[in-house]
């Protein structure tokens, strides 16, 4: 009779790296293993079992919250990058080289979004400075409000300097 070689033997040269973090699958596997090998004449305490199921449910909810939080962070980052459209940015090209221009568009294709400045796509990570330009509607409105406020201040100052009774011509 021939005996086939088995791969179920101890290999002292094989190094198995343990998981650094126990995930929900590992937790469920531990729970199932406990149930499988429990003593039938002395089953697991009901309170302990319910506690472990509650812990498993909480662990799964924490993973869901983490996944949702990661999605929220990604959406927030995308919104911030899209808000750069129409703004003047300074892009750092090297240690001593920088260009300044308006963000013409944003590309969300691929792993990382890119901004289009002066006909070239750049990573948002190389943006050194963001400036509001008066070309945007908000900038124009803010400039008009500032101009009106300045004009009103000048007119008020002129009226106060020409008070009646200060004239010497009478």
pLDDT digits (tens, 9 = 90+) for 5-50: 555 555 566 666 666 666 777 777 887 888 788 877 877 777 887 8
The domain 84-130 having CATH identifier 2.30.30: the answer here is yes
Q: Which residues contact 133 (CB under 8 A, 6 or more apart)?
A: 86, 87, 88, 102, 139
**Would the pTM of this model clear 0.75, i.e. be above it?**
no
CA distances from 108 to 18, 92, 112, 134 (A): 37, 21, 7, 26
- Residue bearing the bigger pLDDT, 19 or 149: 149
Q: Is the pLDDT of residue 120 over 80?
A: yes
Element (H, E) at 115: strand 114-117
- pLDDT for 37: 83
In this prediction, residue 115 has a pLDDT band, given cuts at 50, 70 and 90, of very high
Q: Three-class SS of residue 77?
A: helix
């Amino acid at each position: 009779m021939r005996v086939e070689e088995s791969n179920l033997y101890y290999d002292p040269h094989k190094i198995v790296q343990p998981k650094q973090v126990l995930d929900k699958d590992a937790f469920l596997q531990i729970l199932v293993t406990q149930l499988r090998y429990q003593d039938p004449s002395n089953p697991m305490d009901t309170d302990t079992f319910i506690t472990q199921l509650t812990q498993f449910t909480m662990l799964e909810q924490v993973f869901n919250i983490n996944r949702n939080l990661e999605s929220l962070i990604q959406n927030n980052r995308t919104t911030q990058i899209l808000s750069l459209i129409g703004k003047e940015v300074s892009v750092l090209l090297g240690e001593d080289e920088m260009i300044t221009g308006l963000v013409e568009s944003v590309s969300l294709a691929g792993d990382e979004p890119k901004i289009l400045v002066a006909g070239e796509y750049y990573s948002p990570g190389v943006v050194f400075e963001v400036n509001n330009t008066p070309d945007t509607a908000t900038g124009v409105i803010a400039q008009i409000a500032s101009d009106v406020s300045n004009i009103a201040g000048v007119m008020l100052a002129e009226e106060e300097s020409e008070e009646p009774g200060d004239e010497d011509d009478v």
